[in-house]
Amino acid sequence: MPNSVARKTGRRHPLMGALLIAIGLLVTGGAYAAASTTIAMAETPSVSQASLIDEGEKLFLANCASCHGLNVEGTAAGPSLIGVGALAVDFQVGTGRMPMAGSGPQAEAKPVQFTQPQIDALAAFVASLAPGPGLPDPQYYAGDGDAAAGGALFRVNCAMCHNVAGAGGALTEGKYAPHLRNIDPLHVYGAMVTGPQNMPVFNDMNLTPEQKNDVITYLKYLDETPSVGGFSLGSLGPVSEGLLIWLIGLGGLIAVAIWLTARSN
């Protein structure tokens, strides 16, 4: 009799198992729904971002699609822009290189044709198509790094094309490395990351963001520091210096010789 009572008091209700399963399903389903909503909110652009992308698409179709294709797939006149990222758009359009005025060995910097909000819209549209380099944190192009370290990096990686003083230089087939004086730091960073035209790409494995900031700091130092040797002569090194010697130095000697000859007669 006591054993029978014990069995009755320890027995669970027949529906208890089903109730526990239902509770488990509700908890699991609720957690999944909450997680899905959070992910969807993170992946879905906000209304303002969506309108920015829409505005960028309109600008692209009106100004860029003739060369880069209606679907940004590229044509014979221009490459695909899928995956180039917002940073490439900011550099190319923000420096006036795009849209190109005409075909040539390379896109040249010229007056910018778009406002900054329009550039941001174009960048947002291209960035929405596929992952690519985005705009960096301002701390990485603030120009407050180590100028000495940046100078060493510049001489190793950049000076062979851009000149040790950032004055630019000639390349092959009518191309050239542009000067880097008084350039927007964000555009310098963008050029290092995206490697426009003949320039190699310096990703974070080649130059860390901090090292890129050091290079920008060095260029800022060049902009703010006068030539300690007197006239810079374009910072073109022995070419301009030799030309000056020939034209002024040797020319002056010839003029003096002619003057002395005239005096003796």
Write down the pTM of the prediction: 0.73
The pLDDT, as a whole number, for residue 12 is 61
Gap between the Cα atoms of 72 and 114, Å rounded = 19
Q: Which bin fits 96, alpha (ψ -120 to 50), beta or left (φ > 0)?
A: left
The pLDDT, as a whole number, for residue 1 is 47
Domains assigned to the chain:
47-129 (1.10.760.10), 138-225 (1.10.760.10)
pLDDT in tens, 170-194: 888 889 999 999 999 999 999 999 9
All residue ranges of the chain with pLDDT < 50 are 1, 4-6, 40, 42
Gap between the Cα atoms of 237 and 138, Å rounded = 34
Distances (CA, A) of 265 to 11, 114, 185, 262: 138, 69, 63, 5
